[in-house]
């Protein structure tokens, strides 16, 4: 059971927008920055968002992040078949003194 | 270009030991905070542990399932990160990734990842 809670899967049509939620508590999301990762099939994860809403160089602005209280959200617009992947949220948990991830959300673009 | 290359994975019996290595290039390793993250077959990501740069104290933190069994170390002269795994259990079977990035109070974000090395614990 993951410390952070994500929906197991979401399906969206090409060209549409999707949001993926990540729910936690005051010991993790509530008092720490959130990051988001994309993992394409058979590859290593890639950082999409850090510090709740910042994008690393090279990440298109179709990807966005936000946080409110003990929940965070990843938004993706203009969905393409190439966006089909598993998406993970992550942060630090101050009670556990450990990094923590969500269970992952499988995005299907159909 | 920043590169992280893990090695040392393989098949090991329960109760056995294994040491993973992660050789890095393309950035100043001694200034980097490094983590190990694992992924069991068909499962999600799990943070294993982190070592700070020596400048920031060089201290380590570990996830509860591996604390006392796994040890992270670094050799800055060789640009290499290590994960010593002892008393291995079947539930340690996973692809192990090394990654760079700050991970401590305030935030945890991994900006570069290796390709991973598979560890299989089975009799």
Chain A residues close to B22, C-beta within 8 Å: none
B34: nearest Cα among B21, B19, B17: B21
B108 backbone dihedrals φ, ψ, rounded to 5°: -150, 110
CB A77 within 8 A of CB A12: no
Chain A environment of B35 (Cβ under 8 Å): 99
Distance of CA B61 to the CA centre of its chain: 11
Task: Inspect the interface and report whether the beta carbons of A92 and B62 lie closer than 8 Å.
Answer: no
CA distance B57 to A94: 19
Residue B102 in contact with residue B108, Cβ under 8 Å? yes
A74, A22 Cβ separation under 8 angstroms: yes
Break chain B down into helix, strand, coil percent, rounded to 5.
5, 50, 40
Q: Mean pLDDT over all residues of chain B?
A: 97
The predicted model gives B9-14 an average pLDDT of: 98
Region of B10 please: left (phi>0), alpha (psi -120 to 50) or beta. Answer: left
- Decide: residue A72, CB within 10 A, 0-12 exposed, 13-18 middle, 19+ buried: buried
Tokens of B79: 């640009």
Tokens for B41, please give them.
């077959």
DSSP conformational letter for A102: B
Strand segments, DSSP code E, in B34-121 are 34-39, 45-51, 60-62, 70-75, 80-85, 94-100, 103-104, 107-108, 112-113, 117-121
- Spatial distance between the Cα atoms of B99 and B115, rounded to a whole number of angstroms: 10
Q: Does A38 touch chain B (CB under 8 A)?
A: no
Inter-chain CB proximity B45 and A88 less than 8 Å? yes
Query: Mind telling me how many Å the CA of A98 is from chain B's nearest CA?
Result: 6
Average pLDDT over residues A36-40: 98
**Model confidence over B74-112: pLDDT tens digits?**
999 999 999 999 999 999 999 999 999 999 998 999 999
Whether pLDDT at B49 is above 90: yes
**Percent share of chain B, pLDDT over 90:** 98
A71-108 pLDDT, tens digit each: 999 999 999 999 999 999 999 999 999 999 999 999 99
Q: Which residue of A has its CA nearest to B65?
A: A98
- Which chain A residues have a beta carbon less than 8 Å from that of B38? none
Q: Name chain A contacts of B101, Cβ cutoff 8 Å.
A: 47
């Amino acid at each position: 059971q993951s410390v952070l809670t994500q929906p197991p899967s979401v399906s969206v049509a090409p060209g549409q927008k999707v949001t993926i939620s990540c729910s936690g508590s005051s010991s993790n999301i509530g008092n720490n920055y959130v990051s988001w990762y994309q993992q394409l099939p058979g590859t290593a994860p890639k950082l999409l968002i850090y510090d709740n809403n910042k994008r690393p160089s090279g990440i298109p602005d179709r990807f966005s992040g936000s946080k409110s209280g003990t929940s965070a959200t990843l938004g993706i617009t203009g969905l393409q078949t190439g966006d089909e992947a598993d998406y993970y949220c992550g942060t630090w948990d101050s009670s556990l003194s450990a990094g923590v991830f969500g269970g992952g959300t499988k995005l299907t673009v159909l | 270009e920043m590169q992280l290359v893990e090695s040392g994975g393989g098949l090991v019996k329960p109760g056995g030991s294994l040491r993973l290595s992660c050789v890095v290039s393309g950035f100043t390793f001694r200034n980097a905070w490094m983590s190990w993250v694992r992924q069991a077959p068909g499962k999600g990501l799990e943070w294993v542990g982190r070592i700070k740069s020596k400048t920031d104290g060089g201290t380590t933190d570990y996830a509860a399932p591996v604390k006392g069994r796994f040890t992270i170390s670094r050799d800055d002269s060789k640009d290499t990160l290590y994960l010593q795994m002892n008393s291995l259990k079947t539930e340690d079977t996973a692809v192990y990734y090394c990654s760079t990035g700050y991970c401590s109070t305030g935030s945890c974000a991994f900006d570069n990842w290796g390709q991973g090395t598979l560890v299989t614990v089975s009799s």
